[in-house]
Structure 1
């Protein structure tokens, strides 16, 4: 497990630093207590900016969203984000790290959530949408969220603004 995670970090570091060619190795220390990036937990679905790595992990016994600051080399606290009765998946982050989006399943219903790190508020963007949703991604500027929606028997893509309003193109 540790070898796989270190390999994952090597690939992530090359993406995060914009290097091409050979990846640069970042030596994130192993922490058996799960307080750092390199732990015994299953860390899944990483998304990277120039500074941050957002990912899903089961390190606290539930499938939650975590944020790691690669420059400060520490996990960032996300108050009010994770809930014991939700299964989080497919995180994405704006380039400046302010906004995180992710899919979450609660009692068999999937929704897309937006978390604002500045206000420490989590909002359900799709509570009024009567459809299955998945795979959200936020643009680098943090102004638009695209995700898949299953409506009328097929998967389509919808783009929302930060307030949960669909955008027309």
Structure 2
């Protein structure tokens, strides 16, 4: 190989190495794994809390459709003990103002039920037990008192409003007056 050719190969080799090193210094996050949003997993049905901090969605990251909650401010997933059940399929999440309450559809035995999860107490409860018909698309009010959903109780899809009652702890930001 000629002396000039060897120099060009070394030059381009060093230039390529420098470009690769500089590309590795890029500070913009590139989500390529299950630790961030937009991974290789199927993520769908997003819902945003009223304060814009929390994002809930359905994901198959654990092998079945489960609810995941992501803190947009801290850019990390939140642990939700007691929310997801390995034998159940979760769908249609909805968040209250600060993300304290999450309503969703859970399908455990072939029949959809509306469930409510309280992130403070880490407890889930079924809200649609008194409905013998099919239910779908629950949405929770910003303060967490009301849940609206669709029901086929009359043989067609109708809208129902469920009042959780005046004695529940409302989802209001800390320090805000309760109305």
Tell me the TM-score normalized by structure 2: 0.72
Give 3-state SS (helix, strand or coil) of 2:150's partner.
strand
Structure 2 counterpart of 1:58 = 60
Structure 2 unaligned spans of 5+: 1-27, 166-179
Q: How many residues align?
A: 136
Larger radius of gyration: 2
CA shift, 1:132, in A, is 0.3
Structure 1 unaligned blocks of 5 or more: 1-26, 164-169
String of CA shifts for 1:7-26, please: whole Å, max 9, x gaps: xxxxxxxxxxxxxxxxxxxx
2:41 equivalent in structure 1: 41
Tell me which protein shows more strand as a share of its residues. Answer: 1
Instruction: State the shift of 1:47 in Å.
Output: 0.9
Q: Secondary structure at 1:154's aligned position in 2?
A: coil
Alignment equivalent of 2:161, drawn from 155, 159, 162: 159
How far apart, CA to CA, are the structure 1 residues paired with 2:127 and 2:35?
A: 30
Deviation at 1:140, TM superposition (A): 1.3
Q: Any idea what SS the aligned residue of 2:83 has?
A: coil
1:122 is matched with 124
| Normalised TM-score (structure 1) | 0.76
**Cα distance in 2, alignment partners of residues 41 and 82 from structure 1:** 17
- Find the counterpart in structure 2 of residue 30 from structure 1: 31
CA distance in 1, matches of 2:126, 2:140: 14
Q: Once superposed, which parts of structure 1, at least 4 consecutive aligned residues long, lie more than 4 Å away?
A: none
